[in-house]
Amino acid sequence: MTSNRERQQRAAARARLEHEMTLRAEAAQRRRRLQASIGAGAAVLVLIVGVVLIVTLTGNDKKRDNTAAPASSASATPTNCQWNPSAKTGQPANPAAKDVGTPPATGEPRTGTQTMTITTNVGVVTAQIDTAKAPCTAASFTHLAGKKFFDNTPCHRLTTQGIYVLQCGDPSGTGTGGPAYQFANENLPTDKRPAYPAGTIAMANSGPDTNGSQFFIVYKDTELQPDYTVFGKVTQGLDVVQKVAEGGVDDTNGPGDGGPKTKVTIQSLTMGAPAQS
């Protein structure tokens, strides 16, 4: 027969076991909640970063431009340049496009450098264009400059938070314009940090291999995905762009993204003859 003492001991043991199991269950529940919150936080962080990047590069629904989506393409130099129609087959032409024909199909220089001179109402910016690493981009700019494509066009966009660029090259000033052709990415900075240091000149795009005429000048080190063709670097006049940035942005596309308050107009853009570096 079990004594009262033994029954009390067994009851106490069961109580301790149940208490321990309760504590373990509560601890497991806390771990699950913590893991769930961490996972959710990571997901939210990824979402926020993605949204910030997309918003920064595309603007809002009222104003989209050619930096719309990160592009990914091989950075190897193509053997020859392909000038593809900017309008897809069966679709109407972009009303903001300015058709000045296409560059020559062959014979573009593939060595050395060229000097780009951008004369604006607020100062002159000169740049060394890497014709060897970005021959198709250089050929496109040489063609467009020869057609006075960039003359009397606005720099329509400035970003001052996280991404530090002044964007130009759209004759329509809407952020949706360009020539009637597109071409592939070149010289993507996949192995560089920051990918876009101050002074870089790179192509804006709306996806892989959709380069047109819009470009951006980086006035402060900027860490972007290496999805935008780097074709040159500022050699003189970066202070002109920095002064424009100091003047502020109108936040049309959100905080730190919109038109520059200091209006910038490209009066002329010229490309010098290729020279061996």
pLDDT in tens, 148-163: 999 999 999 999 999 9
- Classify residue 30 as exposed, middle or buried by CB count within 10 Å of its CB (0-12, 13-18, 19+): exposed
**Phi-psi bin for 123: left (phi > 0), alpha (psi -120 to 50), beta?**
left
Compare 242 and 55 and report the one with higher pLDDT. Answer: 242
Q: Tell me how many degrees the CA angle 266-56-117 measures, rounded to the nearest 5.
A: 20
Collapsed DSSP state (helix, strand, coil) of residue 154: strand
- Among residues 243, 223, 262, 250, the alpha carbon closest in space to that of 70 is found at 223
Q: For 84-271, which CATH class?
A: mainly beta
Instruction: Using a cut of 0.85, tell me whether the model's pTM lies above it.
Output: no
Which pLDDT score, from 0 to 100, does residue 79 have?
76
Q: Looking at this protein, which amino acid is placed at residue 57?
A: L
Residue 6 has pLDDT above 80, yes or no: no
Top pLDDT among 57 and 161 is at: 161
- Which of 36-50, 88-102, 119-133 shows the lowest mean pLDDT across its residues? 36-50
Selected residue with higher pLDDT from 219 and 38: 219
Task: Give the model's confidence band at 20: pLDDT under 50 very low, under 70 low, under 90 confident, else very high.
Answer: low
Dihedral angle, C-alpha 157, 158, 163, 167, nearest 10 °: 50
Question: What is the C-alpha separation between 87 and 210, in angstroms, rounded?
Answer: 11
Q: 147-151, long-range: CB within 8 Å, 24+ apart, which pairs?
A: 147/100, 147/101, 148/268, 149/98, 149/100, 149/179, 149/213, 149/269, 150/118, 150/213, 150/266, 150/268, 150/269, 151/266, 151/267, 151/268, 151/269
Task: Tell me the DSSP string of 94-106.
Answer: PTTB-------SS
pLDDT at 88: 77
Residue 13 has which token pair? 């043991």
Please give the residue that has the higher pLDDT: either 13 or 136: 136
Least confident window among 69-78, 101-110, 193-202: 69-78
Hey, what amino acid is at 85?
P
Whether the predicted pLDDT of 41 surpasses 50: no
Nearest of 240, 242, 264 to residue 124 by alpha carbon = 240
CA distance 182 to 90: 17
Which of 62, 83, 65 lies closest to 170, judged by CA? 65
H helix or E strand, kind and range, residue 6: helix 4-58
Whether 59 shows a pLDDT value over 80: the answer reads no
Per DSSP, the chain holds a count of helices (H) and strands (E) of 3, 12
Position 123 pLDDT exceeds 50 = yes
Q: How many CA atoms lie within 13 A of 70 on its CB side?
A: 15
Beta strands in 59-205 (DSSP E): 84-85, 113-120, 123-130, 153-154, 157-161, 163-168, 181-182, 200-203
For residue 85, the cross-strand partners are 181
CA distance 76 to 80: 12
